[in-house]
Amino acid sequence: MKLKLSTSILALCLSVSAAQAYDLTIAVAHLPNTLDPVMENSNVSQRIIYNLFDTLVKVDYRDGGKLVSGLADSWEIIDAKTIEFTLKKGVHFHDGTEMTAKDILFTFSPLRLGHDNVAIGGSGTVVSKPFIGGIEKVEAIDEYTVRISMKDDDALIIHRFANYPSQIVSKSAFEAAGSYEEFALHIVGTGPYKFSNLTLDDHVIIEKFDNYYGDNKAAADKVTFTVVPEISTRIAGLRAGQFDMITEVTPDHIEEIDKAENASIAGGPILNIRGLVYDSTNEIIGDPRIREALNLAIDRETLAQALYQNHTSVPHGWQMQVFGKMYLADRPIPEFNIEKAQKLLKEAGYNGEEIVYRTQNSYYTSQIETAQILVAMWKKAGLNVKLAVKENWGQVTEDNETRHIFDASFTAYYPDPMGQFWRRFGPTGGWAQNDVYINTEEMIVLGKTLATETDTAIRRDVFTTMLDKFETNPRGAVLHELTQIYGVRKGLTYSPLSTSYMDFTTAGVSVEK
Amino acid sequence: MQWTLSRILRSLLTLLLLASFTFFALSLSADPALQILGPDAQPEIVQAFKERWHLNDSLWQRYVTYIMGIIQLDFGLSYRTGAPAIDIVMTRLPATLALMIPTGIASLLIGIPVGIYAALRQGTRTDRLIMTASVVGFAVPNFLVGILLMYLFSVWLGWLTPSGIISWMSWIMPMITMVSAEAGIFARFTRSAMVEILSHPMLDTSLAGGLNEHQGLRHHVLPNALIPLLTLVGLFAGNLIGGAVITENIFAWPGLGRLLVESVAARDFAVVQIIVLLIGASMILINLLVDLSYGFIDPRIRDTRRISIKRNKVATA
């Protein structure tokens, strides 16, 4: 009886504590300009939009990337080109309207995804094309059933509607907004939080959406993302109790936060590879043997250890474990072999011609330090690489005779090589289209098979061949897995996802009362 | 009148040059499409962006459109949001002024009396101590002072929040950071000007004529020291809008300085250009007022201007 009574009191206390409201303040280095997913593809946007929107199918990052029901109750892949979704009933947008087929049609309409939005005040610069540009037709079978057809057979058809940028938005909100830009600035989704305010370069506020349909509700009443450009200020604010969390913690500050009494570190590698891109159309590094030598001269494990200690690792080539059946587990990490590099350079007749490596100061974590270490490693192999620090991407990618090497990152938007390796290096990627390199016909054919074939065994073979060929004629280099490190105040527990998304639902955040 | 008119015309020309320089410097150093869309944006997306913002027009066409816009007080839209750039700038201006005006007043109230005090004790240990503190004040970079203050007051003592505007206490650290530098400059300038006047023979003459030290100070030393000091105040006041870029970044102050940094990085031309023009206009306006005030303070300057205008008239006749 006593036990029962104390259990009841405990349960009562817990329910009271769960009902207690709290707000979260997250200090970030940058904010997005808009929160419409198709308008901005950046990590600063992604950490917010996860809380505002849902996709038809969801990826359960906490369960090995399993696909689970999202806004669709069920789905059926009719053939390699066609998929049909049966929508959940009774799901409401933040503006109070019910989500139905008309919203799915609007979300994937040419008006929103195409350039048509220029006519209604949009910038016409939708960045979603590499992801969902292959949609041919979206039809409403009835109010709660939608059929989507792709232009070509698509091995990733289901993943395209489970990931960025397929978040569903409200058609009614668009109609009420008056212009595309107004709509984008006051975006309406179905997520656990609703949009409240965006002040350019200063803050974004999202608030709990009480009518959220999902199991993982908003953990806080309000989350404020506030811009604090300096890492020292973010850390001071965390330690002083002004912030609940801080983002973009650089490796040299991890120890300071870990040692602090009232803060701790969360996060680690995310589904993104930090790497390099080679301009193989350039005469100096046009010979594939020189580019292979560049790759062989990089001691990646030393680089990762020196800069990130145990917070990151070197991937086994252009792939991640999340690829599941497409992950080639036996493939080793990229080879480090100075003798072989020197031999290749000799064969290629390299005579110390200057190779320019364009980098920036801090677009990526420890960017300049990474660049300096790489230059020293290349020097050991006899490669004369000159570092050119640029102010912006325009200067980095400017197409002239000194564009040889530059920095990049490779997000695995889909758990498949098509969502990472071939999305970036394939013929539809920005670099191929901007003449950074020209893919061989053979690679293009292999890539086509990878994109359309649905037999996993065949796809694995094709991917293996592609990686082998890429190794001897590389367009870029793997360095290490990109990290996303957060500082978290004492009393708050944050369970990070393996992506740039930040999860402020009850699955991601809990507060010690 | 003619002098004032010529100053106004010169000011407008300076603003035109400033606007032109900003336009060309920004236009030639980066492509806003790549800054906003990201490095691997597809060519057709970049193209759509350029069409939307008329970036395919020739540089001169864009320049003429831009200058004509300024003349009509149409400053354009932000590339990043499509909102009127002037609205974005105006939402951030109050925070900057709210920081810079009290900073300026505090710097004057501390710097000038300290400078006078040091000058009157010239060569003593007090003088040397004050001057050393002044040099340290303006020699130590703002970002270092800011971070040290933050670790002292926020991390160790836990008294102040280090970032943004939370309460009146949010002003303490940014103001100390800037006042320590500005007051140091004012103190040194005041001392130098005072020492020069104090050694002038006219002061001995007036003291011999029966004025006491206090009267001599009030009637001869301070008014004469005021002219160089006023120039310095003019420079500071003209820089009210753009003077806190570093401090605003350290303390995440939601003002124009931070907006300027982000907008330059994104090549958000319209926003940058308004801020630069605001800084330029305020600098020109304040300096015009300072120039005008010289004449009120020192009648000799007024007379010199009159004579110079008369001479010009004779020469042109």
Exposed e or buried b per residue across A353-363, where buried means at least 16 C-beta atoms within 10 angstroms of its C-beta: eebbbbbbeee
**Which of A36, A42, A43, A233 to substitute to test the interface with B, most B CBs within 10 Å?**
A233
CB contact under 8 A, B42 and A130: yes
Q: Same domain for B34 and B113?
A: no
Q: Same domain for A452 and A328?
A: yes
Q: Any chain B CB within 8 A of the CB of A119?
A: no
- Residue of chain A nearest B151, judged by CA positions: A236
At residue A506, the 3 state secondary structure works out as coil
More confident: B240 or A161 = A161
More confident: B121 or A126 = B121
> What integer pLDDT is reported at residue A15 of this predicted model?
43
Q: Nearest CA of chain B to the CA of A182: how many Å?
A: 9
Q: Which chain B positions have a beta carbon within 8 Å of A232's beta carbon?
A: 147, 150, 250
Is A9 within a domain? no
Give the confidence band of B243 by pLDDT, cuts at 50, 70, 90. low
Dihedral through CA A226, CA A230, CA A235, CA A237, nearest 10?
A: -50
> What integer pLDDT is reported at residue B315 of this predicted model?
53
Q: Which chain A positions have a beta carbon within 8 Å of B39's beta carbon?
A: 393, 396-397, 408, 430
Let me know: does B121 contact B127? Beta carbons within 8 Å.
Answer: yes
Task: Calculate Rg over the CA atoms of chain A.
Answer: 24
Q: Same domain for B158 and B278?
A: yes
Q: Same domain for B140 and B198?
A: yes
Q: Which chain B positions have a beta carbon within 8 Å of A429's beta carbon?
A: 40
> What integer pLDDT is reported at residue B225 of this predicted model?
79
Q: Which chain A positions have a beta carbon within 8 Å of B44's beta carbon?
A: 129
Is A323 within a domain? yes
Is B76 within a domain? no
B146: nearest Cα among A229, A217, A162: A229
A·B CB contacts under 8 A: 155
Rounded to whole angstroms, the Cα distance separating A247 from A267 reads 10
> What integer pLDDT is reported at residue A464 of this predicted model?
97
A122: nearest Cα among A42, A78, A213, A184: A184
Q: What is the ipTM of this complex?
A: 0.81
At residue A385, the 3 state secondary structure works out as strand
> What integer pLDDT is reported at residue B40 of this predicted model?
66
Check which CATH number belongs to the domain holding A84 and give it: 3.90.76.10
> What integer pLDDT is reported at residue A441 of this predicted model?
94
- End residue of a domain, out of A136, A161, A178: A178
Give the confidence band of B227 by pLDDT, cuts at 50, 70, 90. confident
Give the confidence band of B264 by pLDDT, cuts at 50, 70, 90. confident
> What integer pLDDT is reported at residue A287 of this predicted model?
95
Q: Which chain A positions have a beta carbon within 8 Å of B265's beta carbon?
A: 392
* Residue A157 tokens, joined: 């058809």
Give the confidence band of A13 by pLDDT, cuts at 50, 70, 90. very low
Q: Range of B17's domain? A: 2-71
Q: Whole-prediction pTM value?
A: 0.86
Q: How many residues does chain B have?
A: 317
Is A238 within a domain? no
Is B313 within a domain? no
Q: Nearest CA of chain A to the CA of B49: how many Å?
A: 6
Q: Same domain for B117 and B260?
A: yes
**Which of B163, B172, B247, B262 to substitute to test the interface with A, most A CBs within 10 Å?**
B163
Q: Range of A45's domain? A: 34-178
Q: How many CB atoms lie within 10 A of CB A438?
A: 13
Is A163 within a domain? yes
More confident: B51 or A257 = A257
Q: Nearest CA of chain B to the CA of A224: how many Å?
A: 13
Q: How far is CA A376 from CA A303, A380, A477, B116, in A?
A: 11, 7, 16, 56
More confident: B42 or B50 = B50
Is A39 within a domain? yes
Task: Tell which A residues from 416 to 475 touch B, by Cβ distance under 8 Å.
Answer: 424, 428-431, 433-434
Is A455 within a domain? yes
Q: Same domain for A172 and A277?
A: no
Rounded to whole angstroms, the Cα distance separating B288 from B41 reads 47
- Residue of chain A nearest B30, judged by CA positions: A394
Q: How far is CA A411 from CA A96, A158, A475, B81, in A?
A: 34, 18, 17, 25
Q: Same domain for A169 and A296?
A: no
Task: Tell which A residues from 230 to 259 touch B, by Cβ distance under 8 Å.
Answer: 230, 232-234, 236-237, 239-243
CB contact under 8 A, B49 and A181: no
Q: Same domain for B279 and B213?
A: yes
pLDDT of B240 higher than 80: no
- End residue of a domain, out of A157, A178, A199: A178
Strand partners, A26: A225, A245
Is B297 within a domain? no
Contacts 24+ apart (CB under 8 A), B292-299: B292/B4, B293/B230, B294/B227, B294/B230, B297/B223, B297/B226, B297/B227, B297/B230, B298/B223, B298/B227
For the segment A459-478, the average pLDDT, to the nearest whole number, is 96
Q: Same domain for B107 and B63?
A: no
For chain A, what is the mean pLDDT?
A: 90
For chain B, what is the mean pLDDT?
A: 84
Q: Same domain for B131 and B179?
A: yes
Q: Same domain for B47 and B121?
A: no
Q: Same domain for A439 and A317?
A: yes
Task: Tell which A residues from 125 to 144 touch B, by Cβ distance under 8 Å.
Answer: 125-127, 129-130
CB contact under 8 A, A123 and B49: yes
* Residue B72 tokens, joined: 């009509």
Residue among A41, A395, A408 whose CB faces B30 most closely = A395
Give the confidence band of A5 by pLDDT, cuts at 50, 70, 90. very low
> What integer pLDDT is reported at residue A120 of this predicted model?
43
Is B80 within a domain? no
- Residue of chain B nearest A260, judged by CA positions: B155
Check which CATH number belongs to the domain holding B189 and give it: 1.10.3720.10
> What integer pLDDT is reported at residue A483 of this predicted model?
92
Give the confidence band of B5 by pLDDT, cuts at 50, 70, 90. confident
Q: Same domain for B102 and B62?
A: no
Q: How many CB atoms lie within 10 A of CB A5?
A: 9
Q: What's the half-sphere exposure (Cβ side, CA atoms, 13 Å) at A12?
A: 6
Q: How far is CA B168 from CA A73, B6, B174, B242, in A?
A: 52, 44, 12, 22
Give the confidence band of A7 by pLDDT, cuts at 50, 70, 90. very low
pLDDT of B250 higher than 80: yes
- Could you report the per-residue pLDDT of B160-216, keeping only the tens digit for each? 999 999 999 999 999 999 999 999 999 998 998 888 888 878 777 877 777 777 777
Q: Same domain for B119 and B11?
A: no
Amino acid at A193: Y
Is A367 within a domain? yes
- End residue of a domain, out of B71, B102, B127: B71
Is B304 within a domain? no
Q: Nearest CA of chain B to the CA of A64: how many Å?
A: 29
Is A135 within a domain? yes
> What integer pLDDT is reported at residue B47 of this predicted model?
78
Q: How many domains does chain A have?
A: 2
Strands (DSSP E) found in A430-512: 476-489, 492-494, 509-511
- Residue at token pair 């303006």: B138
For the segment A422-432, the average pLDDT, to the nearest whole number, is 88
Percent of chain A with pLDDT over 70: 93
Q: Any chain B CB within 8 A of the CB of A197?
A: no
For the segment A133-140, the average pLDDT, to the nearest whole number, is 91
Amino acid at B22: T
Residue among A34, A115, A392 whose CB faces B30 most closely = A392
Strand partners, B84: B77
Q: Same domain for B126 and B203?
A: yes
CB contact under 8 A, A236 and B83: no
Is B201 within a domain? yes
CB contact under 8 A, B162 and A424: no
A69-83, A402-416, A417-431, B43-57: which range is least confident on average?
B43-57
* Residue B230 tokens, joined: 């006023």
B265: nearest Cα among A362, A363, A392, A44: A392
CB contact under 8 A, B48 and A125: yes
Q: Which chain A positions have a beta carbon within 8 Å of B275's beta carbon?
A: none
Contacts 24+ apart (CB under 8 A), B53-59: B53/B79, B55/B31, B59/B24, B59/B27, B59/B28
B232: nearest Cα among B172, B180, B280, B192: B192
A457: nearest Cα among A66, A155, A68: A155
Let me know: does B292 contact B38? Beta carbons within 8 Å.
Answer: no
pLDDT of B312 higher than 70: no
Give residue B200's Cα distance to chain centre: 32
B20: nearest Cα among B85, B73, B64: B64
Q: Same domain for B21 and B116?
A: no
For the segment B245-272, the average pLDDT, to the nearest whole number, is 90
> What integer pLDDT is reported at residue B314 of this predicted model?
54
> What integer pLDDT is reported at residue B1 of this predicted model?
66
Is B99 within a domain? yes
Check which CATH number belongs to the domain holding A460 and give it: 3.10.105.10
Exposed e or buried b per residue across A88-111, where buried means at least 16 C-beta atoms within 10 angstroms of its C-beta: beebebbeebbbbbbbbbbbbbeb
CB contact under 8 A, A430 and B41: yes
Q: Which chain B positions have a beta carbon within 8 Å of A242's beta carbon?
A: 154, 161-163, 166
